[in-house]
Structure 1
């Protein structure tokens, strides 16, 4: 047997096993560690290439052994990822951000009632993003992380304001646990929100049930998204484009919802939905509900779930 088949076979079994265990809530794995240890992946791939044409027992044992040991190390780190994050994740989905031990950077944009629509674009590298409280200002952000360097830009046009909240720490990127930034966002509940979140690896927990959200765009590589939508906006559009990610969307029971899933390799769990004639998924009340939510999933090896509450 060729060593490259063994290598890719172990990789696929590993990824499938991790996703399956996460689906049954048996583990909580941080996919960002795959990115963190990308040099290790290069080393393992290089060893496989060197011995790809050799069919000796020694070559097969070496490739299999190095692959298993490397994946075991990544798994260990991925399952023990919250010890230094500065964020406490409890069973009731509440998030507490610790504000001691490191400098906390704060950003604020004051509220102006003439702005009826806010277009917020947030982008960061390896970060944890949280929305679970509102503010009397238009926007606030608290960032914890020694290497976190963010810029807040504002542009205005009539009754619409655009906020661009992005990190500029690419030159100082560091793979140490303590260098991951922890970002807590606070939004005003009065305006209509269009929100875009882009990140490489990390975690996002957004409770948007008290906000009028019209559009929500999520982009992530090795990431976890936990999003709760409300019923204050008649039409909501959510688009999620991911690599290897876990995406959980919570929607109100009385809202009608249509899901378009264009990823064949991803797992999905849409309880309370039925497949329609074109292969999409919708709630039984989709056509009659006043408030409608449109969800589009695009992903590689991702886990998509929609829950009704």
Structure 2
């Protein structure tokens, strides 16, 4: 019989990282049981797959998968899946996470470390797919008629004719419109806003647009100071502030405070803007404009070629932005900040353009005419000699940034 004192001097660290031979003869299981029962103070046992190794495996696979997805989308390496379907699989992440935690807890003594590694690997690959489903703008599914991951079955033939009756059964899924016909079961608020051009006409003006979930458009001009229309779940309001002499009005168009627009489904695929509301703005072309646009999620199409834009600041979250700039101003300073977004800018060829980019994990596509003069700086041909100039500074994260000359 082996004495307890002798066992205390036994070094079990030689069993660290058990070999296949140890496993075959059950020595590893015996050592784990011995350490647990006798509580040897000097014994040090390590599981076949330490927790630190699983963390490294998880984060390594996480970033690799996310990077591959963005490269595949930006360069069209392979066909993308139906992201609406992927988005609906979020409960699978909870299941995989629970399995990984359980197997980590009971790993070594029950021989389930290998299964834990499999669960961790599956979770590290599944989470990037789920996150990526909220940022994709893949046009391969943009033209599909069905933008949903669920198709509701037709009503049973014996459904009552009066569904509003108190005791009538409801055969329709209350959430079906959230995906198939978004917005039809939510009342949109329509607002029209207009302000006549004052006399004398202002030479300068400032426009501030704040928005939530909607498609924002600015493509036409107006003889008034502003013409705007909103049709969105969140109601909008407009206010105009003037300086002492009234020569430089500041126009603000923003959602009504404390209004409810919860539960809005945002689809960045682009074509069906009416599905989540629209805000259209027309400004007068006479003043020199300073513009600020701030919206969290949605799509934006700003054609500003008809305006003399001195300063333009755009802050967007998960959004799609198409911007066209003109040559009406002598100097235009453009600053754009975004999260996971797709940003496309078109600039005129007769204007000198300077582009500065910043941020991480961005896919940048700058027109070949531009010359790269630094790590993140690009100049158009003849920039220094140009009489009109546009300065663009872009700061984004995990975005696609594109600039073309026209």
Q: Quick check: which has more Rg, 1 or 2? A: 2
Distance 2:98 2:259 in 1: 30
1:128 corresponds to 2:215: yes
Q: Which residue of 1 aligns with 2:36?
A: none
Corresponding pairs, count: 289
Instruction: Provide the TM-score with structure 2 as the length reference.
Output: 0.61
Instruction: Provide the TM-score with structure 1 as the length reference.
Output: 0.78
Q: Which residue of 2 aligns with 1:163?
A: 251
- Aligned with residue 115 of structure 1, among 179, 186, 202: 202
- Aligned with residue 381 of structure 2, among 284, 298, 302: 284
| Structure 2 contact 97–119 (Cα < 8 Å) conserved | no
Report the secondary structure of 2:220's partner residue. Answer: strand
Q: Displacement, 1:103?
A: 5.3
Report the secondary structure of 2:70's partner residue. Answer: helix
Report the secondary structure of 2:68's partner residue. Answer: helix
Q: Which residue of 1 aligns with 2:371?
A: 274
Return 5+ residue gaps in structure 2 as ranges: 1-48, 108-112, 148-182, 267-274
- Structure 1, residues 15-39: CA drift from partner, whole Å, max 9, x if none? 433433443368999xxx9xx99x8
| Structure 1 contact 255–291 (Cα < 8 Å) conserved | yes
| Structure 2 contact 97–123 (Cα < 8 Å) conserved | no
Q: Displacement, 1:128?
A: 1.5
In 2 relative to 1, CA 232–168 (structure 1 residues): closer, same or farther, beyond 3 Å? same
- Aligned with residue 141 of structure 1, among 228, 253, 258: 228
- Aligned with residue 8 of structure 1, among 32, 45, 59: 59
1:61 corresponds to 2:118: yes
1:245 corresponds to 2:331: no
CA RMSD of aligned residues (A): 3.7
Q: Which residue of 1 aligns with 2:277?
A: 181
1:195 corresponds to 2:291: yes
Q: Displacement, 1:51?
A: 6.6
Distance 2:392 2:91 in 1: 36
Q: Displacement, 1:294?
A: 0.4
Return 5+ residue gaps in structure 1 as ranges: 86-99
Q: Displacement, 1:120?
A: 0.7
Q: Which residue of 2 aligns with 1:151?
A: 237
Q: Displacement, 1:258?
A: 0.9
